[in-house]
Amino acid sequence: MKKNNLLGYVRESLQNTGIYYLNHDIPVWTEDPLPDSINLGKVIHEVGRLVPSAYLQYIHAIRIGIFDEMITRELNAFYKDGVLYVSNMQNSNKDMLDDMIHEIAHAVEENHYDFIYEDEQVFLEFLGKRKRLHDLLKSEGFDVKIEQFLTAKYDYDFDMFLFQNIGYPILQSITMGLFPSPYSITSINEYFAIGFERFYMGESNYISRLCPELSQKLIYLDELANEYQ
Ligand SMILES: [Zn+2]
């Protein structure tokens, strides 16, 4: 997930130290102080309430702080080898909650990759939207090349093109009704993760209208996860 508020962040006093447990067994701890406005215990509780517990088996720990990868890739959270890394620079409990759910999405994606992508429907839905975006940007006068838009995997140059050359505020208005957020344009993996995040943040109807193929996969996975609850 992309950082967006690092500059406006004011470091506040140390609190929320100590270890919390998600779902009673996944340790969560802070390595850099959280703002006073963040109630980590409450955020963790909400994650456990919103996400099927079967999904949490893929997570071994949640570390909160500033990590190198966040700086080099301009991220405010990432998932790696079963660990969620989440920035301590958070504006609200909801900001932190959606970061965590977003990264859980990447763990779920990694563990159900074949099911999500093997029939190519999510892939085709994503590329269709990318092509439409290309046409929209072109008609707005942007110098865009179609090849860049037809690569589903993460590409640093394309990411920077969207994030810096065009900018998320413009993308937000151009892609309304096409992509759930500018960041979901970045790669098929972010398309999945943003869809998952919105699905569990109470916007499943919105995702089902906007991304019907992705929504079908999310619903099926959710049913499967709840069976094993
Ligand atoms: Zn992501």
Amino acid 9: pLDDT: 40
104 CA to middle of ligand 1, Å?
A: 9
> Ligand 1 centroid to 76 CA: how many Å?
10
Residue 1's pLDDT is 65
146 phi, psi to nearest 5 deg? -60, -35
Q: Given this model, what pLDDT does residue 18 score?
A: 81
Measured distance CA(83)–CA(168) in Å, rounded: 28
Write down the pLDDT at residue 71.
87
**The pLDDT value given to residue 126:** 98
pLDDT at 10: 36
Give the pLDDT of residue 229: 61
Given a contact cutoff of 8 angstroms between Cβ atoms, the answer to whether 105 and 197 are in contact is yes
SS3 10: coil
- In terms of Cα–Cα distance, which of 59, 56, 39 is closest to 200? 56
102 C-alpha to center of ligand 1: Å?
6
Residue 17, both tokens: 């130290």
Q: How far is the CA of 132 from the centre of ligand 1 (A)?
A: 22
Residues of the chain scoring pLDDT < 70 = 1-17, 229
Quote the pLDDT of residue 16.
45
Partners of 77 in the β-ladder: 86
Separation of CA 71 and ligand 1 centre (Å)? 15
Question: Ligand 1 centroid to 163 CA: how many Å?
Answer: 14
